[in-house]
């Protein structure tokens, strides 16, 4: 695992090797969807959230460092961002962006340069 925005170090309750696929995802102000995919890749750890009808079926990529805590018993991931923060995040296309370093830079800039309220649970 890595440190900072692209690592799970700040995610209380997260256990390396856990499969988060299908877990419910909660923002600081409510439900946003479910984990469609997650990775523990060094310097690129993230989850992909299927937002369902909430933002018209859009998927969003959230760096692991946005995760505040994980409850494996409840199968829930809490992220320390608001629904609005997540809704306004850079557009994600799984066919183009999953391994794109430029896209990861855009996401890093968004989540670290004041485009969000930066709250953590």
Per-residue pLDDT of 60-93, as tens digits, reads 999 999 999 999 999 999 999 999 999 999 989 8
Q: How many CB atoms lie within 10 A of CB 118?
A: 13
Cβ proximity of 103 and 97 under 8 Å: yes
Give SS3 for 63. Answer: strand
Task: Give the domain ranges of the chain.
Answer: 4-112
Can you read off the two tokens belonging to residue 21?
Answer: 């696929």
Q: So what's the pLDDT on residue 109?
A: 93
Cβ proximity of 66 and 47 under 8 Å: no
Can you give the pTM of this predicted structure?
0.88
Q: So what's the pLDDT on residue 51?
A: 92
Query: Cα separation of 68 and 56, whole Å?
Result: 25
* Residue 116 reports pLDDT greater than 70: no
* Residue 121 reports pLDDT greater than 80: no
For residue 60, give the nearest of 111, 94, 11 by alpha carbon: 94
Give the CATH H-level superfamily of domain 4-112.
PRC-barrel domain (2.30.30.240)
Per-residue pLDDT of 102-115, as tens digits, reads 999 999 999 987 65
């Amino acid at each position: 695992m890595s440190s900072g925005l692209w690592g799970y170090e700040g995610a209380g309750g997260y256990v390396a090797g856990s499969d988060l696929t299908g877990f419910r995802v909660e923002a600081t102000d409510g439900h946003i969807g479910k984990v469609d995919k997650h990775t523990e890749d060094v310097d690129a750890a993230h989850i992909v959230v299927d937002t369902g009808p909430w933002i018209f079926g859009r998927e969003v990529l959230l760096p692991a460092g946005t995760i505040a805590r994980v409850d494996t018993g409840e199968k829930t991931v809490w992220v320390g961002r608001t629904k609005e923060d997540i809704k306004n995040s850079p557009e994600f296309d799984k066919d183009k962006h999953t391994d794109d370093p430029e896209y990861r830079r855009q996401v890093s800039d968004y989540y670290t340069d004041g485009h969000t309220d930066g709250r953590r649970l």
